[in-house]
A and B are shown apart, each in its own frame.
Chain A
Amino acid sequence: IAGITQAPTSQILAAGRRMTLRCTQDMRHNAMYWYRQDLGLGLRLIHYSNTAGTTGKGEVPDGYSVSRANTDDFPLTLASAVPSQTSVYFCASSLRGSDTQYFGPGTRLTVL
């Protein structure tokens, strides 16, 4: 089934630990995005990638890094997790030239 998968579904993490959230899409979309969702704030863009090999910073990039080695995968890494990074993380993708984004099911991350 075509779409976006994210892993893990949920995770509890000790502060200071490193964590990578995985995102894979099989729609051959050029662009991919990472958002975090916090109550009352909607979704905010963390990082994005318009095409494989390029990445850019979104609205709230601090404490996060991404890479885009190929079209399908867009992992998000927290180098040293802090409690304020407790959130639900959504990966999304879109075709080049389209502003319609398709979202994965999300990863619920709790940092203690």
Chain B
Amino acid sequence: AQSVTQLDSHVSVSEGTPVLLRCNYSSSYSPSLFWYVQHPNKGLQLLLKYTSAATLVKGINGFEAEFKKSETSFHLTKPSAHMSDAAEYFCVVSDLGGNTGKLIFGQGTTLQVKP
């Protein structure tokens, strides 16, 4: 069965410094992996998606994530944090083993950006 673990519930960085949000996954298949962002009191927005075409995936707003099969990781990075990046981030795997089209969400990581 697929599962996702976000290793940090809260990450705090200073504006202009790099961002690293960590995610490990477990899957019996070659998974589809996603990062979604949720700004306060807003819905979820797709940041990026991995589908095996390339291990380094570029998303919106300067974010990117690297799929590392040997480490079963899909960490999200950004070279320089901006105040507007403060939000909740979810690592997500698609439940390819079922017929629901279900997305399996990690617990979320709150990113705080300090001025």
Residue ranges of A at the interface with B (Cβ–Cβ < 8 Å): 31, 33, 40-45, 48, 50, 56, 58-59, 90, 92, 94, 99-106
Q: Which residues of A contact B105 (CB under 8 A)?
A: 42-44
Assuming A99-B94, A103-B44, what are 13 further A-B pairs, CB within 8 angstroms?
A: A40-B9, A43-B90, A43-B103, A45-B102, A48-B100, A50-B99, A58-B100, A58-B102, A94-B101, A101-B103, A103-B36, A103-B45, A105-B43
Residue in A31, A33, A40 whose CB lies within 8 Å of B107: A40
Main secondary structure of the interface of A (DSSP, over half): strand
Determine which residue in B44, B100, B101 has the highest number of CB atoms from chain A within 10 A of its CB, and name it: B101
Main secondary structure of the interface of B (DSSP, over half): loop
Q: Which residues of A contact B9 (CB under 8 A)?
A: 40
Report the Cα distance A90→B43, complex, angstroms.
8
